[in-house]
């Protein structure tokens, strides 16, 4: 069958459009208040408004750049997670004791999203969602990465792991 050796590659982001609904209007309101402070010569308002705008802009930049990329192919499982690390973490099939798609609870299992630890899954590399790839290594370490298309990942695991 053509295309059966194509790798599974998926990119997910922590950032969702809902963040725009909260961050952008807040930035607009702060900008209006900042302009008002400038017009009225309120130095405290200028400093405070500028500080809040910088913090929100920084938060927006970080959220926009939060990208988890997962790859499953004939060599094993690899992933990168910006902004935490750009270089791929690679695990050959010989290093992997078990790998399965799971449904997890981000808040209960990891206390939220991002780069977190869990007693159940080990190191978590999570974005928005509740499905992932749980991996146990032969050295006893465990990790979980968020996935959206668990069915395609399951098929890739079956295809490349055998």
What are the tens digits of pLDDT across the range 18-55?
A: 666 777 787 788 888 888 888 888 888 888 888 888 88
Domains and CATH numbers, the chain: 12-64 (no CATH), 74-161 (2.30.29)
Percentage, residues of the chain above pLDDT 90 = 53
Contact 14, 6 (CB under 8 A): no
- Mean per-residue pLDDT, 93-102: 97
- Mean per-residue pLDDT, 113-139: 94
**Prediction pTM value:** 0.74
Q: Note every long-range contact of 115-124, with CB atoms under 8 Å and residues 24 or more positions apart, other chains counting.
A: 115/81, 115/84, 118/144
Percentage, residues of the chain above pLDDT 70 = 94
**Residue 4 pLDDT level (bands cut at 50, 70, 90):** low
The pLDDT score that the predictor gives to residue 1 is 44
State how far the Cα of 123 lies from the Cα of 13, in Å rounded to an integer: 18
- Mean per-residue pLDDT, 55-83: 87
Q: Which residues pair with 103 in a beta bridge?
A: 131
Average pLDDT, the chain: 88
Contact 82, 70 (CB under 8 A): no
């Amino acid at each position: 069958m053509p295309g059966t050796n194509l790798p599974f590659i998926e990119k997910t982001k922590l950032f969702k459009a809902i963040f725009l609904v909260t961050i952008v209007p807040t930035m607009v309101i702060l900008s209006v208040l900042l302009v008002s402070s400038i017009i009225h010569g309120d130095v405290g308002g200028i400093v405070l408004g500028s500080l809040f705008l910088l913090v929100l802009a920084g938060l927006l930049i970080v959220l926009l750049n939060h990208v988890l990329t997962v790859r499953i192919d004939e060599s094993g499982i690899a992933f990168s997670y910006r902004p935490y690390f750009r270089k791929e973490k690679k695990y050959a099939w010989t290093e992997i004791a078990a790998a399965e798609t799971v449904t997890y609870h981000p808040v209960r299992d990891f206390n939220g999203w991002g780069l977190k630890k869990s007693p159940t899954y080990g190191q978590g590399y999570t974005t928005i969602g509740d499905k992932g790839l749980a991996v146990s290594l032969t050295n006893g370490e465990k990790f979980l990465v968020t996935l959206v298309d668990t069915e395609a990942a399951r098929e890739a695991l079956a295809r490349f792991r055998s």
